[in-house]
Amino acid sequence: MSLLQVRDLSVIANNAGRDVTLVDRISFDLAEGEILGLVGESGSGKTMACRGLIRLLPSPNLRVQGGAVRLAGQDLLPLDDVGMRAIRGGQLGMIFQNPSSHLDPLMRIGEQIAEGIRLHQGASKKDARRQAIEVLRQVGIPDPQARVDNYPHEFSGGMRQRAMIAVALGCNPTVLIADEPTTALDVTVQAQILRLLLELRDQRGLSIIMITHDLGVVAQTCDSIAVMYAGRLCEHASKYELLAHPRHPYTAGLIDCQPAHSSGHALLRTIAGQPPLLDALPVGCRFHPRCPQVGSLCRERLPEGARVACHYPLGDRP
């Protein structure tokens, strides 16, 4: 059985008395040691889905609705705040795009890691510090014995991202949610951090949900890919299958958009138009106004499906 099961999870925002659905009934599974890439453009709901999953919603007018989130068999949705706090930072770790704003600038790196270890494992101060040094070593910080007493501003950008991963790893999570972990970094440092995440998966059997807008990043690191568009999950498959044979026209469009490989001044292929506003969604399939192979059903009914949510998936037609 998979480690994490998400079923029909929705995140709803209340905007001046009106409900706007940011994430609409998404379901997916995450196996032990699997890296799942959650891909989408800004506003597609990929971050909100994960924030809803661990109930770290950034504003009080957001709420989680429906379904189930089962972590190792335990349903997390009925848990209250106290119960959820034990899960977050315990079995569920999270890292963010911008380490500078998610590390406490006035607290030593070691203390920030040890704080979680002591809180969740009840370790002694000395023991927690020893573990903090060990975690720093694992995330590839050179000379961890000395670095453990540094403040975040004494670290470079890439080192800070490593430190934030160390804070998340301190409590031995089984699932790590990484929200755009390399977007703020340079390409050469990005490669280092992605390699580190792969190594952590191999050594600890860590499961990772990697939220990103960069198909290149998921192609190189993830096992499976889930694509989100306008709050809906539109396609979910192994990376080989999805990248080689995309079945949703949006996925195919995203892959075609990548400027990589060819050069010369040929025009790039693009997806026409703009993503819809979430409070003014089109009827039927949310992608249909931009879809090159739109059919009559698309304008009427919202497509469902776990592998691909499309009325006329690619490769199906005669």
Angle at 291 between CA 230 and CA 276, to 5 degrees: 30
Q: Please choose, out of 144-152, 173-181, 210-218, 305-313, the segment that lies near another protein by the rule CB under 8 A.
A: 210-218
By CB under 8 A, residue 161 contacts another protein: no
Name the nearest CA neighbour of 25 among 233, 228, 238, 260: 233
CA dihedral over 220, 221, 222, 223, signed as positive or negative: positive
By CB under 8 A, residue 16 contacts another protein: yes
Could you say which of 2, 29, 31, 67 contacts another protein (CB under 8 A)? Answer: 67
Give the nearest distance from C-beta 46 to another protein in angstroms. 12
By CB under 8 A, residue 73 contacts another protein: no
Could you say which of 29, 220, 295, 305 contacts another protein (CB under 8 A)? Answer: 220
By CB under 8 A, residue 289 contacts another protein: no
Give the nearest distance from C-beta 130 to another protein in angstroms. 27
Could you say which of 31, 77, 123, 302 contacts another protein (CB under 8 A)? Answer: 77
Could you say which of 1, 82, 106, 188 contacts another protein (CB under 8 A)? Answer: 188
By CB under 8 A, residue 153 contacts another protein: no
Give the nearest distance from C-beta 124 to another protein in angstroms. 35
By CB under 8 A, residue 84 contacts another protein: no
> Which of 117, 278 has the CB closer to another protein?
278
By CB under 8 A, residue 271 contacts another protein: yes
Give the nearest distance from C-beta 131 to another protein in angstroms. 26
Could you say which of 119, 123, 191, 314 contacts another protein (CB under 8 A)? Answer: 191
Give the nearest distance from C-beta 251 to another protein in angstroms. 11
Contacting positions for another protein (CB under 8 A): 8, 12, 14, 16-17, 25, 41-42, 57, 60-67, 77, 156-159, 186-192, 194-195, 198, 213-217, 219-221, 239-240, 243-244, 253-255, 257-271, 274-275
